[in-house]
Amino acid sequence: MGTSGVRFYQPTVIANLGFTSIAQAQLLNLPISLLAIAVIGVTGFFADNARLPRPVYPLGIFTIIIACYAVLVVYPSNGAVYTATLIGNACTAAFFPLMWPWRVQTTSRATGSAFSIGFVNSYGQIGGAIGPQIFKSKYAPRYRESFASAMALVAVCAIVTLVTWWVTRQTEADTRRLKRARIQAEKNNLAVLDDIVDHDLDSRK
């Protein structure tokens, strides 16, 4: 909800900073999109080497987003606000490619993965519906209350991510070990055909 609200009102916030009109503010969205592509590429490269636990990357993204939203709450200057918006929204776009490979590790086969992605995307639309309501016109042009609310919501999401990591810690570690084994085998023109069996949820039966 927090990030959806910030992204939805991004052109309006930029226009209210006094840089340009709402119509021309769309041009200032281009650097955010380009930076998002760069962040996705860089984080995806490092996440794929299996050196660090996958949840570390989404949590790192959350940390950056919260820091950026803190700048938006403090509102030191127009330039700082635009820079924080640029970095925060670019990192928001990078969160999903980092989160999905980790979240589907505990699902069963392709059907389970497809169902989980569809299910989460469905209830994820709630954030898109409620998030923009945080940015009411009465808070313009600085939207301090709105950014503070968005920051709090992202912090809650980070806490939930930590809990999810704890629940799925064994499967995540096993998947990372298998990934490293496959990378090493590929260097020797070999293949690892083993797969991971989810023991996290089994242990709770």
Mean pLDDT across 193-201? 61
Longest dimension (CA), the chain: 63
Please, are residues 100 and 117 in contact by the beta-carbon 8 Å criterion? yes
The CATH number of domain 2-167, selected from 3.40.1130, 1.20.1250, 1.10.1740, 3.10.150: 1.20.1250
Higher pLDDT, 185 or 170: 170
pTM of the full structure? 0.82
Query: For the packed helices 78-103 and 109-130, what is the interaxial angle rounded to 10 degrees?
Result: 150
Q: What is the pLDDT of residues 93-137, one digit of tens each?
A: 888 888 888 877 767 667 777 787 788 778 778 888 888 888 888
Comparing 78-87, 105-114, 139-148, 165-174, which segment has the lowest mean pLDDT?
105-114
Task: Place 68 in a pLDDT band, splitting at 50, 70 and 90.
Answer: very high
**Extents of the domains making up the chain:** 2-167
